[in-house]
Every structure is written in C-alpha cells, then in structure tokens.
A and B are shown apart, each in its own frame.
Chain A
Amino acid sequence: MNKKPGIVEIRNLCKAYQRGNQLITVLQEIDLDIDEGEFLALMGPSGSGKTTLLNLIAGIDKADSGSIRIGGIEITALAETELAAWRANNVGFIFQFYNLIPVLTAFENVELPLLLTGLSKGERRTHVETALRVVNLADRMDHSPGELSGGQQQRVAIARAIVTDPTILVADEPTGDLDRDSANDVLELMERLVHELGKTIIMVTHDPRAANKAHQIKHLDKGVLNAHPQADF
C-alpha cells in the first residue's frame, strides 16, 4: 500500500468533564498520528476515554484544548454548522449498536448521508447500490433493520459509513454486540475496506482478536495514550 503520512494529527489534546463541583480529566495531552490507509485499534479499560477520543476525532464532541488536524483541516477551529458539514463529507460512523433508523429500509438508511449532497436520485441509487454490494447485502436493500440479523445490520451501517467516500472511518466497538461469526464477517469487511479501498479506520475495541486485525494498537489508560498496555484487563 502506498501510504501518505499524517491524515490525522493530534497534538496536546485535553478533555475534562465537570461532574458536580469536581473536574474529571478524561483525556490528558494526547498526541496521535494516523497515516492514510491505516487501520488503528484503540484499546483500554472501561471509562478510560476511548469513546471520548473517538468522538473528538469524528467531530461530534468539543475538545477543551489541543489540536486535531484531519486531512489538513483544523477541526477544533470549526463552528458547529461547519463541523456538521465537515462530518457529512469526511467521516463515516460505525457504532456498537448499528444505529440504523428502524423505519427506513437498508437502502434508505444507506441513502441518508447522500441526502445532504447535491446528488441526483439516480446518482444516489448508484452509490447506495455500490456500497451495499461492497458489504454483500445488495439483495437485502428493501429489508428494514428489524428484518436483518445483527451482523447484517452492522454491514448496512458500514455501507452507510462508506457511501459518501469519507476521509476516515471511526468505529466504536463495532463487534461488541455480535456473535463470533458475525464479528468475523464485519472484521473481514473492515480489512477489505483498508486493503482494497485504501480506507483509514480508527476502531475502539475490547476484543483482542478484533485488535489483531489492525496495523497498529494503541492503549488508552486513565486518559493517557501508550503504545503498550500498562495493566490492561
């Protein structure tokens, strides 16, 4: 793979939450670089700040200080509406609980992010069908999420994440709710996205087998990032 360096550059990132009159530091001076086409796994004990870090990278939460540059854009400097537009174009989301809209079909769920683009109906259809073919669910596009298995729903969610061809994909415990076989399918799919389509993936996981598919594993413990586990689980 021909890797271009530095698609994600994080410097001195800090985040704390106020709980009552107590300030809880969640992330302390995080530095992180991720190359284009890289598959990074973030591990760490519960409450260590993994989801918080992922949310910051994905632009759905605000940092207290520090900088996050993604594809050359300093996203900490963006206003709310600019950030929303940036997310729509640059980030694909995969969640533990799939987070599909239950009243919409697989096709419509995948089409959702495209509604914010200027694409015509026909163009949207082509994109959605392509994405569903990548996740091997082209034959299920008229099914609603309730009619699909967990693994299938997660693959629809992946199709939704890649349909806009985003700069980065973020996944928060994507296999956390799946059985072993379905989890394998999803992980294989993510590997293919990296190897065949050159996608950049940042994945939070508790599952060592999932983490082993990644190029790189980072450990987060009490808000500090390490290359090796401290006293991980």
Chain B
Amino acid sequence: MHILKLIFKNSFRHKLRTFLTILGVTVAILAFGLLRTVVSAWYAGVEASSATRLVTRNSVSLVFPLPLSYKEKIRQIEGVKGVSYGTWFGGIYIDEKNFFANYSMEPRTYLAMYPEIIIQEDQWNVFLRDRKGAAAGKKLAERYGWKIGDVITLKGTIFPGNWDFVLDAIYKGRDDTVDETAFFFHWDYLNETLKKAGRGWTDKVGWFLIEIEDPDIAAEVSLRIDKNFKNSLAETLTETEKAFQLSFISMTEAIVIAIRLVSFVIIFIIMAVVANTMAMTARERIGEYAIFKTLGFGSFHIAGLILGESLFVTMMGATLGILLTFPAAAIFGKELSQYFPIFNVARETIVLDIIAALVVAFVAALFPAWRAIHIRIADGLRRVG
C-alpha cells in the first residue's frame, strides 16, 4: 500500500466532482494554450525576422514611395552588403475577404536575402524568365487549389485594373516559422505596366530591403542611410526588419494585451475552482487526517496527501488540455490562416501550460493543507462520529 495509491483512490471518491474539476482544468488549459498561441501568431512575423535585414521606407508614411535611384546610393553606404526593393500591391483575389499579402519585388536580390524561402530550381528558373510570373506560398496555393501554370487574376486597389499572373513557383518555408501564405511577382512587370499606362509611381518603390554584414551595426547603418537622404525630396526611415514588423503590431498591441490578460484570468478562475474542490475534499476528510495524525503521521504526510490529490487532478486535466491544444490549434490555424499565416503551438506555450497547472495545484492545496495540519487531533476526531 503506497501513499500514491491512496492519493489515487481518494481522487475518485467523488467521481462526478473529480470529473467536473478535471474537465474544468482541461478546458481552461486548452483555452489558455489557444490564446497564447494567438498571441505568438500575432508576433510570428517579428519572430521570423532576421537581425541582419533592414527596411528603408519613406519617413512620412509607408504609403509614400521612394525613388528607385536611391538603390545605388544605399549600396555604396558602409556596412551594406546587398540592396533589394519591393512595392506593396494589395490586390484582391475574387473577393475582398480572400486576404493575403501580395507585393512586387526584384526576385534575384530579394530572395537572396531570404534563405528561409525555398523554391525548387526548375520552378525558380521559369519564374525568373517569365515577365508575368508569380510565386505563392504552399499554404496559400493549397487554400485556393492553385497549381503551377494557373493564371491568377488580382484586382488592383492601389493600382487599378485586373492583373493577370502565371503561377510559376510555389515556395516552402525552411521551417514552420516561415509564412507560407504570401504572393509575390516581378516589380519590373508592375513598373512597365504603369509606365505604359502613363500613371504615377513609375520608377518608384515602396521600400528597400537591405542586408547588412553584422547585426551589431544595424543602428549605425540605419543612421547613415537616413542621414544620406536628409533634406532630399523623399526622406527615409530605416529600421530593422523586426522593428518594421513591430510597427504593424503596435497598432493592435492593446488587443494582444487584452488577450494576454484574459489568458491569465482563465488560469485565475480555474485556480478558484480547484481550490474550492480541494477545500471541500479536505473538509470532508478532516476526521481521516486526524486518524493519520493519531497513528503518528506528520504534517509532511498530511500535506503530501492533499497536495498529491490536487496535483493529480490538476495534472490529469492539464495533460488532456495540452493534448487537445494541438488538434484544436491545427483546426484554428486552418480556419484563421488568412489572419494568422503562422499558427503553431510554441514550446513556450506548453511550458507555460505546465507552470500554470503546477501553480494552480499548489495554490489550491495550500489553504486546505494548512488547515488540516493545524487542526488539533482531538477536535479532528470529534468530527468523525
């Protein structure tokens, strides 16, 4: 006969109560895990950004372009290893609700800076030679059932008209932190078309992407670039890719904070629920704890029985919750892939789940254990009859 067996048997004395408590913990841990995953999905772009990449944009706002002629000037700045450029296209595929990132860029130089984007060599070669060629992420292609060679029409918003592209390449991410829902095509195609139509934005780009030699010099190089274009027609703002990504998020930071807060509120609520169960349990067993003490068992044993039961119930629920988080996140990720290109359950989320469950178990056991230890044996025994 072991203490463990006793804890196990005690846990199932009130089957319904134990079942409901475990269910509560399962749901709480599942909700907590999903909310944390939403938060990390929000920051996925930031997490995936590289410390050796800078982004230069118009200092006024992202909607104002920069002249392509800046490219050579930037390249000559000390510390700069490579320069590329892109322009946000913002086209709509069939319907406005089909949102995905789509932009034009100079493929050779751009993708040279993104080793995490992987394209098969034959597809890559076709894409480079095809003026109207485009590449899409694997998840995006799957979402709309696109195959290589398909013609994809986007309706321009910034640049009006229907734009046809040929899907020449489907890229894969090097690992699961890479966004596989983007769509990009040749900047040259955009520029030539605009030129032919005699519209604005010709020989202009939305941003420059800059590779630097060493992440430590990011601040200096950024300053140097911006200084170089000071007092010119279009002043620049250069920042790390991470800061650039963060500037998108900061707008919605309040929501992220709210989600974080709610995730902890859930843990707090389940703590109250488990604490209530443990308080009821320990109250019913005060007489039994008195018998254990009478027989010579110490505070350590009594606390062990109560904490053990609290841990057992909480960990059962937490384990179920964690196991359910993965399929639930997969379903969520699929449904929400437009908004959250990356929706992976992070290892930190699981660690946080476990820590939260442990804290819940300990806190819930604290007061009942303290009471059971401190009640006088003679008083405890009087409760039995």
Contact = CB atoms under 8 A, between A and B. Distances in A.
Determine if chain A interacts with chain B.
Answer: yes
A84 B297 CA distance: 7
Interface stretch (B50-58, B194-202, B374-382): B374-382
A55 B288 CA distance: 17
B33 interface: no
Given A87-B296, A103-B6, A104-B1, A97 B377 contact: no
B356 interface: no
B297 A95 contact: no
B8 to A, nearest CB: 9
Interface in A72-101: 81, 84-85, 87-89, 93, 95-97, 99, 101
Contact of A96 (B6, B13, B294, B385): B385
B9 interface: yes
Interface in A176-221: none
Contact of A101 (B288, B296, B376): B288
Interface residues on B, range: 20 to 34
Contacts of A104: 1, 6, 9
A58 to B, nearest CB: 8
Contacts of B296: 84-85, 87-89, 113, 116
Nearest to A87: B296
B254 interface: no
A107 B384 CA distance: 21
Contact of B295 (A52, A97, A107, A113): A113
B242 interface: no
Interface in B343-385: 376-378, 381, 384-385
A24 interface: no
Interface of chain B, main secondary structure: helix
Interface residues of A, number: 28
B31 to A, nearest CB: 33
B5 to A, nearest CB: 8
Nearest to A115: B1
A178 to B, nearest CB: 14
A111 interface: yes
A134 interface: no
Interface centre among B1, B10, B291, B292 (most CB of A within 10 A): B1
Interface string A103-147: 110011001110110000000000000000000000000000000
A225 to B, nearest CB: 19
Interface of A: 51-52, 55, 58, 60-61, 81, 84-85, 87-89, 93, 95-97, 99, 101-104, 107-108, 111-113, 115-116
Given A60-B293, A96-B385, 16 more contacts: A51-B378, A60-B377, A60-B378, A61-B378, A84-B293, A84-B298, A87-B294, A88-B296, A93-B294, A95-B381, A95-B384, A101-B288, A103-B6, A108-B1, A112-B295, A115-B1
15 contacts: A60-B377, A61-B377, A61-B378, A96-B385, A97-B384, A97-B385, A99-B287, A99-B291, A102-B13, A103-B6, A103-B13, A104-B1, A104-B9, A112-B295, A113-B295
- Which 7 pairs, one residue from A and one from B, show the smallest C-beta to C-beta distance? A88-B296, A103-B9, A108-B1, A60-B377, A61-B378, A113-B295, A84-B296
